[in-house]
Amino acid sequence: MNLIPVILAGGSGTRLWPLSREGYPKQLLNLQGSNTLLQDTLSRLDGFRYESKTESATFAAPIVACQEDMRFLVLEQLSALGGQQQRLILEPEAKNTAPALTCVAIDCHERHSDPIMLVMPADHAISDSAAFQSALHDAIDAAAQGSVVTFGIPPQGPETGYGYIRRGTPATDIGKSAFNVAGFYEKPDAASAQEYLDSGEYYWNAGIFMLRASAWLQALERFKPEILSNCQNAVANGKLDGAFFRLNAADFAESPADSIDYAVMEHLADNSKALVVIPVEMGWSDVGSWPALMKLGNEDADGNVIQGDVLAEDTRNSLLISPDRLLATLGIEDLIVVSTPDALLIAHKDASQDVRKIVDRL
User: Which residues make up the interface to a copy of itself (CB under 8 A)?
Assistant: 18, 311, 313-314, 322, 325-332, 335, 337, 339, 341-348, 350-352, 354-355, 357-358, 361-362
Nearer CB in complex with a copy of itself: 279/323: 323
- In our burial notation (b when 16+ CB lie closer than 10 A, e otherwise), range 247-275 reads bbeebbeebeebbbbbbbbbbbbebebbb
Q: Least CB distance from residue 294 to a copy of itself, whole Å?
A: 15
Q: 202-212 and 148-153 as β-strands: parallel, antiparallel, unpaired?
A: antiparallel
Q: Least CB distance from residue 343 to a copy of itself, whole Å?
A: 4
- Integer Rg of the chain from CA: 21
Nearer CB in complex with a copy of itself: 205/329: 329
d(CA 119, CA 132) in angstroms, rounded, equals: 13
- In our burial notation (b when 16+ CB lie closer than 10 A, e otherwise), range 84-120 reads eebbbbbbbeebbbbbbbbbbbbbbbeeeeebbbbbb
Q: Give yes or no for a contact between 305 and 316, defined as CB atoms under 8 angstroms apart.
A: no
Q: Give yes or no for a contact between 258 and 98, defined as CB atoms under 8 angstroms apart.
A: yes
Nearer CB in complex with a copy of itself: 46/350: 350
Q: Least CB distance from residue 328 to a copy of itself, whole Å?
A: 4
Q: Least CB distance from residue 339 to a copy of itself, whole Å?
A: 6
Q: Least CB distance from residue 21 to a copy of itself, whole Å?
A: 12
CA distances from 216 to 54, 100, 320 (A): 25, 12, 43
Q: Least CB distance from residue 360 to a copy of itself, whole Å?
A: 10
- In our burial notation (b when 16+ CB lie closer than 10 A, e otherwise), range 188-223 reads beeeebeebbeeeebbbbbbbbbbbbebbbebbeeb
Amino acid at 36: T
Q: Least CB distance from residue 298 to a copy of itself, whole Å?
A: 21
d(CA 28, CA 131) in angstroms, rounded, equals: 24
